[in-house]
Structure 1
């Protein structure tokens, strides 16, 4: 007699319960991270720039807030956070310090409604990162990365098959839904670095999903084509920087020298044969004045530095750049992560942010090169961090709350902490096995 028939209640067989519990335990980090990315970045309607700072909430804004609240409720009900103080890593303390600076700056923001929402969202992102570090298994970050790459590739395919009306100021730049091409490029640059990393490390042992190499290459080509089509120069430069770091950290010794020679030769051939196409891509049909000012960014940054001089330590408050720059220049945001933080949170926020990024990078550099599963994490974290930091010179995503880059920064922090802890545990276990009994 089967277990199903033996169950007098007619319910599912008891043996199914561990399978369901295991599926929930494995995939909740992926679903939560992707839910926050979609809620923050995927736009399903066009909205005037001044509507956000005015605090006007339409149904889609309420849906975004609702998704964050849903993730927060899931984390609270599932893990029941404890008030007991525990010893933590420097990265964890810096995460809390950075969030504390953002939340504190929201209290004196000139746009209190928007600032309060963004502060609440970054608290949820922090809670998710800490839950991943404390409660998810060591392979969860790899599943998050694979899920994000698949989402980015499917978004490109959707954008091709279901084209939405383009922005009047960006008629020839690819995107999907109503996402600005800069945000689309930011998403795709992260996906390109991830997929390149998994392709380069395909032969190394690691945890998480293992897709066939043709799948990684196909997804990489889709995301790369979408990235180039967005014509987002900062995202392309960021992706190139991330890939170069991947190549540099993948091999050691003489292999690096050989790699540098091959890369130099390839770049020389590309520059000689495609110089016109490259120049056209980066010029993007703009005037000489626009190019000389980086699409008027330098003008914006000069004005931002004047403002920062008025409140150098604590800034004007979270989200102040959205409204202050909109009123004076017609552009929302600092278009540079450091500028954005400098105006919003002052030197306190900038230094805390730099310390967080530096500590994540330093901890990743110190990860073992001997253990393959740890080496893969080292390569991916450093490549992603380099790519996002390079892109942050041209867009504020990494220095603003509730963005795809902000979410990934917190995920990378959790990923690094988890891997470092696992490495230390394996080292201790190995020492104990070698001790004479």
Structure 2
């Protein structure tokens, strides 16, 4: 189900101007996307129905719901209600899926999801190489597939690379295929990520991989990473300094680099937007419309800017608290041998998305791979921290032993 939502949200067969989306324009692709989310909601209702929770929910799940509910509530005061209402509905469906996974899924279910996601990304890379479609002027030399923006493609590839590493490390996630399959998938994902030319994703994956490797194998693993990593960090600039500079500058002028591709101008305008409504913000999806009208750029290009513009200090506090809780919980569980690799993976994934989000705002929005994976990280965190049911033996009236679960 999460993969269906991701496919409907990000895999586009046409390029669409951002002003059409904010203005509420609907075409067949948008109807299909809304329909997929609607089917997900209908399936969950028919399969599980609505009922009061049997036990207290984890803090991370409560905060995820609080964030989604607050975003939905902010539709009441957004200047773009049609677009915001659709996005709010999709965000609530994502929260419902997150809740079901957190309370009902097993770790094996999540391993299968990881395999399917990696497979989807590898197939997508092959499609992008075999059938490159028409590029926009700003993405002529940057790799992608279909009409997925290179920034979004970088998010897919970064998540897939970290998942592959989690299957490759000793005592990592259970493998379904020989290890060379995961190694090749990691190489393909890493090479394609570099080819996207997405600097935020490149810096994010370095931070995410470092966090994963430093925590996935305990103190011994940290020592090995430091022993191998320090020489690599020293040698890479010496051997490939020109290529690293070329990747970092991407042929841009000094003025473009100083303004981070006009992001600093955008963030200056964002400050004024926050000052107008500092407590509750301008409402969901308002950042895209406000920045588009003022600067011709859609979105805040930073998750924290986006959150504080749309949700104000209230929304930013909820969002930041959610991140802190998930990071803290997973960091503490890296000390538990049984779930160490999974906790390290979730830690690496969240750090990757947050660092990448310093120059991209998708994670703070709705209906995209970064936002859906944020909720999946919350759900996976709840699954690994869920206490297994104890079982006790009792005797029925005929004297037979019966095993029953004890919550």
TM-score, with normalisation over the residues of structure 1?
0.87
Aligned to 2:306: 340
Change (3 A) 1:348 1:370: closer
Aligned to 1:394: 359
Aligned to 2:142: 173
Pick one of 48, 68, 81 that aligns with 1:99. 68
Unaligned runs of 5+ in 1: 1-31, 430-437
Query: Aligned to 1:366, what secondary structure does the other structure show?
Result: helix
Aligned to 2:396: none
Alignment check: 8 A CA contact 1:141 1:411 kept: no
Change (3 A) 1:84 1:262: closer
Query: What do the CA deviations read for 1:252-282 (whole angstroms, capped 9, x no partner)?
Result: 3354234213211012111100000000011
| Counterpart Cα distance in 2 of 1:261 and 1:369 | 21
| Counterpart Cα distance in 2 of 1:187 and 1:205 | 21
Q: Offset at 1:206?
A: 4.6
Aligned to 1:416: 381
Aligned to 1:282: 248
Aligned to 1:433: none
Query: What do the CA deviations read for 1:153-191 (whole angstroms, capped 9, x no partner)?
Result: 111100011110011222111111111111111111111
1:267 aligns with 2:236: no
Q: Offset at 1:211?
A: 2.2
Aligned to 1:217: 183
Q: When the two structures are aligned, how many residues end up with a matched partner?
A: 392
After TM superposition, the structure 1 = structure 2 runs for residues 63-212 of structure 1, keeping only pairs within 5 Å, are 63-83=32-52, 86-200=55-169, 203-204=170-171, 206-207=173-174, 209-212=175-178
Query: What do the CA deviations read for 1:39-61 (whole angstroms, capped 9, x no partner)?
Result: 11111101112100110100100
Unaligned runs of 5+ in 2: 393-407
| Counterpart Cα distance in 2 of 1:314 and 1:238 | 30
Query: Aligned to 1:174, what secondary structure does the other structure show?
Result: coil
| Counterpart Cα distance in 2 of 1:84 and 1:163 | 48
Aligned to 1:306: 272
| Counterpart Cα distance in 2 of 1:194 and 1:415 | 13
TM-score, with normalisation over the residues of structure 2?
0.93
1:40 aligns with 2:3: no
Q: Offset at 1:89?
A: 1.3
| Counterpart Cα distance in 2 of 1:168 and 1:217 | 34
| Counterpart Cα distance in 2 of 1:399 and 1:273 | 37
Query: What do the CA deviations read for 1:359-397 (whole angstroms, capped 9, x no partner)?
Result: 11111122263433x112111111101111111101001
Aligned to 2:196: 230
Alignment check: 8 A CA contact 1:193 1:387 kept: no
Query: Aligned to 1:314, what secondary structure does the other structure show?
Result: coil
Query: What do the CA deviations read for 1:56-96 (whole angstroms, capped 9, x no partner)?
Result: 10010000000101111111111112145642111121111
Change (3 A) 1:120 1:41: same
| Counterpart Cα distance in 2 of 1:241 and 1:142 | 23
Alignment check: 8 A CA contact 2:287 2:300 kept: yes
Query: Aligned to 2:138, what secondary structure does the other structure show?
Result: coil
Give structure 1 regions of 4+ aligned residues with deviation exceeding 4 angstroms: none
Aligned to 2:371: 406
